[in-house]
C-alpha cells in the first residue's frame, strides 16, 4: 500500500521536472539588420572591407540552462564592396565562385554563456565546399521588445578571425597574410518566422536610383 503513493509522488515530481525544462527559444534572423562584414589586406598598404547583403537562418537560445545553437546561411553572390566591378570579380571562379558555391554556412551547437548571456560560439564555417572550425566571439548581446511589432528582438555584434587560404581562397594572398577579420552585426526576432513589418515612412525606403557606373579601366589584379 505504501508503494503506490510513493510511485504517484515520484511521477508527479518527474512531471514537474519535465515541465520545468523549457525548450530553447528560437529566433529568426532579420536579414534587413544582419550584415557579415569582412576585412582583408590589400597590396600591403590597407585593409579592404566588404559585406554580404543577404543572410538568413535561426538561433536557438536556452538562457536558463546556458545552451544554444546557430544555423546561418549567407548568399555569396550578395557580396558588396561598394564597387560593382570588384563585386563581379569576387563572384568569379578565382574567388568565391558563386555559380558553383552559392551559399556559405555557419553552424554551431556549442554556445558559451556568462551571467546568462552568450559570449562565444564554437562552430563550423563552410565556404567554397570546405568546412573548418571557426570560433565566434560575441562582443555585445541585448534583448528587448520592439514596440513597432510587439515582439522580442535580440541582437549583438560578433567577430572572428580565419585563414581564407584554408577555404581555397588563395588568389592574391600577399606576403603570406591570408587572415580575414569577420565582424557581424545581427538581429533576430523571437519565433519561427519574422513578424510583419510596418510600412516605412516616406523617404526611408530603398532608393530607386541606378547603381553607380563602374570606373573606367577596371581594377589591377589583387
Beta bridge partners of 46: 42
Q: pLDDT confidence of 18, banded at 50, 70, 90?
A: very low
Distance CA 21, CA 15 (A): 10
Take residue 20 and report the three cell numbers written for it: 520545468
The pLDDT value given to residue 15: 44
Q: pLDDT confidence of 215, banded at 50, 70, 90?
A: very low
Beta bridge partners of 59: 27, 70
- Centroid of chain to Cα 74: 8
CB 55 within 8 A of CB 72: yes
Q: Is the pLDDT of residue 21 over 90?
A: no
The pLDDT value given to residue 86: 93
Mean pLDDT of 164-168: 93
Which residue, among 104, 49, 54, has the nearest Cα to 81 in the 3D structure?
49
Question: Residue for cell digits 527559444?
Answer: 25
Distance CA 67, CA 32 (A): 26
Residue bearing the bigger pLDDT, 102 or 171: 102
CATH 2.40.128.110 fits 22-190, yes or no: yes
Q: Is the pLDDT of residue 30 over 50?
A: yes
Report pLDDT digits (tens) over 38-95.
998 777 778 889 999 999 999 999 989 999 999 999 999 999 999 999 999 999 999 9
| Direct distance between the N- and C-terminal alpha carbons of the chain, in angstroms, rounded to an integer | 83
The pLDDT value given to residue 46: 80
Phi/psi of residue 175, nearest 5 degrees: 60, 25
pTM score above 0.85: no
Q: pLDDT confidence of 101, banded at 50, 70, 90?
A: very high
The pLDDT value given to residue 159: 96
Distance CA 145, CA 153 (A): 6
Q: What region, left, alpha or beta, does residue 129 occupy, with left being phi > 0 and alpha being psi -120 to 50 degrees?
A: left
Amino acid at each position: 500500500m505504501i508503494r503506490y503513493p510513493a510511485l504517484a509522488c515520484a511521477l508527479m515530481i518527474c512531471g514537474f521536472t519535465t515541465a520545468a525544462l523549457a525548450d530553447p527559444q528560437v529566433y529568426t534572423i532579420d536579414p534587413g539588420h544582419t550584415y557579415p562584414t569582412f576585412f582583408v589586406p590589400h597590396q600591403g598598404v590597407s585593409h579592404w572591407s566588404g559585406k554580404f547583403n543577404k543572410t538568413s537562418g535561426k538561433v536557438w537560445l536556452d538562457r536558463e540552462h546556458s545552451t544554444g545553437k546557430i544555423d546561418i546561411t549567407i548568399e555569396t553572390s550578395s557580396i558588396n564592396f561598394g564597387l560593382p566591378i570588384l563585386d563581379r570579380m569576387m563572384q568569379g571562379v578565382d574567388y568565391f565562385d558563386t555559380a558553383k558555391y552559392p551559399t556559405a554556412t555557419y553552424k554551431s551547437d556549442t554556445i558559451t554563456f556568462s551571467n546568462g548571456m552568450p559570449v562565444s560560439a564554437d562552430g563550423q564555417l563552410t565556404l567554397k565546399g570546405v568546412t573548418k572550425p571557426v570560433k565566434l566571439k560575441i562582443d555585445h548581446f541585448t534583448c528587448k521588445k520592439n514596440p513597432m511589432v510587439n515582439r522580442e528582438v535580440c541582437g549583438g555584434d560578433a567577430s572572428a578571425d580565419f585563414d581564407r587560404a584554408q577555404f581555397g581562397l588563395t588568389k592574391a594572398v600577399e606576403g603570406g597574410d591570408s587572415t580575414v577579420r569577420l565582424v557581424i552585426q545581427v538581429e533576430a526576432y523571437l519565433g519561427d518566422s519574422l513578424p510583419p513589418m510596418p510600412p516605412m515612412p516616406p523617404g526611408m525606403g530603398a532608393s530607386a536610383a541606378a547603381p553607380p557606373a563602374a570606373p573606367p579601366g577596371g581594377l589591377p589584379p589583387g
